[in-house]
Structure 1
Amino acid sequence: MIQAISMNQVQPLKTMSAAPAEQATPAELTKTFSQFLNNAIEGVSAQEQNVHTLNDKFLIGEVDVSQVMIAGERAQLSLQLTSQIRNKVVEAYQEIMRMQV
């Protein structure tokens, strides 16, 4: 049986309402975004740790090779997605810095 790996679910950012008392400040939005990024990176790290654990279990004969391969591919795809997101963020930052005010 294939072991299911739980993925972190994306939590939506707080929406800004029309009422001034309920508007989120830029600092709160930045903190929420940084928490989102931190959770995503922790999820990638957890997948990598899962691959190492499954590799160890495979070496002693407790799991099947297919479980190790699936976990490895999931971790690889997560890492590739993370690096692509990073590249897009850096590219957007560079584009903003090139803007003339």
Structure 2
Amino acid sequence: MTDMNAIQGRTHLKTESIASRAERRNPEFSQRLKSAVLDVNSKQHTADQSAEAVIKGEMGIHEGMMAMGKADTSLRLLAQVRNKVMTAYNEIMRMQI
């Protein structure tokens, strides 16, 4: 029983407001989009550097192809997200008030 009392004495409720926790956990859509674009750009640069390294013989073909595959997949995903966002935007614009 003394162990339970020791645990209860150490626990406390968080005093951070719900709004600040939600803001910290859920950044704005524009920030997420910017982060995604920067990530795709970084992967594209990595793929370009990997291709050059494969040509120079500094990297194996498998590693280079994996880097290019990751870049391709991330670019396709970003394009699909863009398409879905544009479809949703157009649908909202067609709504009657």
Q: Same fold (TM over 0.5)?
A: yes
After superposition, the CA RMSD in angstroms is 2.1
Supply the AA of the counterpart residue of 2:92.
I
Structure 1 segments unaligned to the other structure (5+ residues): 1-15, 24-28
Match of 1:49 in 2: 45
* Percent of residue pairs identical: 36
Match of 2:75 in 1: 79
Match of 1:69 in 2: 65
Q: How many residues align?
A: 77
1:1-101 correspondence runs (5 A): 17=18, 22=19, 32-101=28-97
Larger radius of gyration: 2
Supply the AA of the counterpart residue of 1:47.
K
Structure 2 segments unaligned to the other structure (5+ residues): 1-16, 21-25
Supply the AA of the counterpart residue of 1:62.
E
Q: Which has the higher helix share?
A: 2
Please give the secondary structure, in 2, of the residue aligned with 1:100.
coil
Supply the AA of the counterpart residue of 2:75.
L
Cα deviation for residue 32 of structure 1 reads: 2.2
